[in-house]
Amino acid sequence: MTKPLIVVTGASHGIGRAVTEAFAAEEHPLLLVSRHPAALEGLPPEQLVRAAVDVADYAALEAAVRAAEDLYGPTECLVNCAGFLRIGGLETRDPADMSYEVDVLLKGVLNGIRAVLGGMRARNSGTIINVSSVGDRAPGPDGEVYHACKAALRSLAGSLQKSQAKSNIRVVNVAPGFVRTNIHAEMGISFEEYVERLGHPDFISAEELADIVLFCWKQPQHICVRDIVVMPTSSDFG
Question: Over 70: is that where the pLDDT of 238 sits?
Answer: no
**Which position among 58, 72, 100, 146 bears the catalytic label?**
146
pLDDT at residue 189, rounded to an integer: 63
pLDDT the model gives residue 61: 98
**For residue 187, what pLDDT is reported?**
64
Contacts of 41 (CB under 8 A, 6+ apart): none
pLDDT for 34-80, tens place per residue? 998 877 777 778 899 999 999 999 999 999 999 999 999 999 999 99
Question: pLDDT tens for residues 123-146?
Answer: 999 999 999 999 899 888 878 999
In tens, the pLDDT along 163-196 reads 999 999 999 999 998 777 666 566 666 667 666 6
Distance CA 91, CA 94 (A): 9
* pLDDT computed for residue 86 by the predictor: 81
Cα(216)–Cα(32) distance, integer angstroms: 20
SS3 of 191-225:
HHHHHHHHCCCCCEEHHHHHHHHHHHHHCCCCCCC
Per-residue pLDDT tens over the stretch 199-209: 657 778 999 99
Instruction: Inform me whether the pLDDT recorded for 229 exceeds 90.
Output: yes
Mark whether 146 is an active-site residue. yes
* % of the chain at pLDDT higher than 70: 89
pLDDT at 234: 83
- How far, rounded to the nearest angstrom, does the alpha carbon of residue 225 sit from its chain's CA centroid? 16
What domains sit in the chain, N to C, each tagged with a CATH number? Answer: 5-230 (3.40.50.720)
